[in-house]
């Protein structure tokens, strides 16, 4: 692929490992370029994550690219992440190409030695999306996946150097000093690259540094001499950034106030998805949020005011794990003692009477008995519901505004007349009912992801769960925006952006 004179200037950020800081560095650079009045877009050729987002063109991409789109000041689009893998089992994943689910493949068929033809098809879609972006934007900041030095996955690579070579774009390499061994990370990664790939790396970035920079300077000089690559900057460790997680569960919570907090437990199933639903709770000053894995018996699980069943990419399989380990008995006891229970998306489906999957969409074809707390049934069907919505929550007191998104295959049907929990619309269409509350007012379910992100809805839901005299819901959008700006400020201070911009010129390669 030969860049044309009118093509966007492109930079690819690769990392020495997963969680080296690629996602945040790309988001920060996107905001830096957007501040300069440039039309900028994020891009990730291939992502593997269970946190996803609905795009403006009605597709699905990784949530990290939706965050980066916010940093750019543009609507999220399926071209920003043309290949998304959503794991459904230890060895299989749903493949989403340009926003649409195409198939479920085993890892060996996607990453193994016989995957050349399949990867060629994926690369064609990736370059198709990339070419459109190059014509529409002035800057594209690309995020790699994992590490380019994973030598067992080098053949037919489409996520790191395979893409960089096909798209003919420069690369910077970021390493996390907080993990230790940062110079070995950088040097070892470069030594495992081919000669042409090494030449494509135009600079190094050290991320998450704490302490006296003077103690690092001799190492910076030595790594530049060893590799022949300039260190473009040392980025300090930034605490308390409110940014959507790509996949890993964020453990940080704010300190609860002196008033009694609401104790919230989120049950972490093996295929939990879109756990960013709980960022607003994690940051709430009067909520004590605890993640509890259901892979073992609940003997040591603390009492809670509210228990939440989150979304799941394999609902029936996760339901089996939950039941096998005794969690239904624990939930029964929780409800007997007056606790509240809430399910979102897949968690909502679990709360019903049964879940049917006759076509084996998420796992082996069959039917599973639900937890039986809500009078409804669910049937999994081909074709995902993907939509961004606004509407009203009807719980206790006056209806309140809510917004969010839906990503699900299941269609749930009430077994008896039941008032809806929410009325939701897409693009000003007719309001559609969603969710329900049990007759005893203890159990609640909805398909709406992001339901806690709207401050009014969050306040209402927490009041329903038992939090008294609190109107302290976090304005998540404002905190995210402040964090992106703080990140961009930091990069403008600690990166050599003039040199970085020079390296984005394709004629420099």
Structure tokens at 480: 């995210």
- Residue pair 153/48 in contact (Cβ under 8 Å)? The answer is no
At residue 489's C-alpha, the angle toward residues 486 and 492, to 5°, is 150
CA-CA-CA-CA torsion sign (279, 291, 65, 86): negative
Distance CA 21, CA 229 (A): 19
Q: Within its chain, how far is the Cα of 131 from the centroid?
A: 25
Structure tokens at 495: 């990166």
Distance CA 303, CA 334 (A): 8
Cβ neighbours of residue 181 closer than 8 Å, sequence gap 6 or more: none
Structure tokens at 356: 């049917």
Q: Which helix (H) or strand (E) holds 132?
A: helix 116-136
- Residue pair 290/302 in contact (Cβ under 8 Å)? The answer is yes
Assign residue 435 a region (left: φ > 0; alpha: ψ between -120 and 50; beta: otherwise).
left
Active-site amino acid positions: 345, 449
Distance CA 387, CA 391 (A): 13
Q: Which helix (H) or strand (E) holds 174?
A: strand 171-176
Residue 32: phi, psi to the nearest 5?
-60, -50
CB atoms within 10 A of CB 1: 13
Distance CA 489, CA 35 (A): 11
Burial label for 77, CB within 10 Å (0-12, 13-18, 19+), is buried
Q: What is the DSSP letter of 449?
A: B
Strand partners of residue 330: none
- Residue pair 86/49 in contact (Cβ under 8 Å)? The answer is yes
């Amino acid at each position: 692929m030969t860049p044309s004179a009118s093509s966007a200037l492109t930079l690819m950020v690769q990392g020495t490992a997963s969680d080296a800081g690629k996602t945040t560095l790309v988001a920060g650079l996107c905001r830096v370029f957007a501040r300069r009045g440039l039309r900028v877009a994020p891009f990730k050729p291939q992502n593997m994550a269970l946190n996803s987002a609905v795009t403006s063109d009605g597709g699905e991409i990784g949530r990290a690219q939706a965050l980066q789109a916010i940093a750019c000041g543009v609507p999220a689009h399926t071209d920003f992440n043309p290949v998304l893998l959503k794991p459904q089992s230890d060895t299989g994943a749903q493949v989403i190409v340009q926003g649409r689910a195409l198939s479920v493949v085993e890892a060996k068929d996607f990453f193994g030695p016989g995957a050349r033809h399949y990867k060629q098809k994926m690369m064609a879609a990736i370059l198709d999306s990339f070419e459109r972006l190059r014509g529409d934007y002035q800057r594209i900041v690309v995020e790699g996946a994992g590490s380019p030095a994973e030598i067992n996955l080098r053949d037919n690579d489409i996520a790191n150097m395979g893409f960089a070579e096909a798209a003919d774009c420069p690369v910077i390499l970021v390493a996390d000093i907080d993990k230790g061994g940062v110079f070995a990370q950088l040097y070892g990664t470069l030594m495992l690259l081919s000669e042409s790939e090494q030449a494509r790396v135009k600079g190094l970035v050290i991320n998450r540094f704490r302490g006296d920079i003077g103690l690092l300077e001799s190492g910076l000089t030595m790594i530049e001499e060893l590799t022949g690559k300039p260190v473009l900057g040392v980025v300090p460790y930034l605490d308390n950034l409110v940014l959507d997680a790509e996949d890993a569960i964020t453990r940080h919570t704010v300190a609860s106030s002196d008033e009694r907090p609401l104790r919230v437990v989120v049950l972490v199933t093996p295929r939990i998805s879109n756990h960013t639903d709980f960022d607003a709770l994690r940051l709430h000053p009067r909520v004590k949020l605890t993640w509890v894995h259901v892979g073992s018996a609940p003997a040591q699980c603390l009492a809670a005011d509210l228990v939440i069943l989150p979304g799941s990419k394999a609902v029936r399989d996760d339901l089996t794990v939950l039941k096998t380990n005794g969690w239904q008995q624990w939930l029964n006891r929780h409800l007997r003692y007056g606790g509240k229970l809430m399910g979102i998306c897949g968690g909502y489906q679990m709360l019903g009477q049964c879940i049917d999957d006759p076509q084996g969409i998420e796992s082996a074809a069959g039917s599973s008995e639900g937890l039986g707390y809500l009078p409804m049934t669910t049937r999994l069907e081909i074709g995902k519901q993907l939509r961004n919505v606004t509407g009203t929550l009807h719980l206790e007191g006056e209806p309140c505004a809510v917004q969010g998104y839906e990503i699900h295959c299941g269609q749930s049907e009430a077994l008896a007349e039941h008032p809806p929990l929410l009325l939701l619309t897409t693009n000003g269409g007719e309001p559609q009912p969603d969710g329900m509350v049990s007759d005893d007012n203890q159990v609640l379910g909805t398909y709406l992801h992001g339901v806690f992100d709207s401050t009014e809805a969050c306040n209402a839901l927490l009041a329903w769960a038992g939090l008294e005299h609190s109107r302290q819901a976090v304005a998540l959008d404002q905190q995210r925006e402040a964090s992106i700006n703080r990140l961009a400020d930091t990069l403008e201070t600690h990166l050599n952006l003039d040199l970085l911009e020079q390296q984005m010129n394709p004629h420099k390669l």
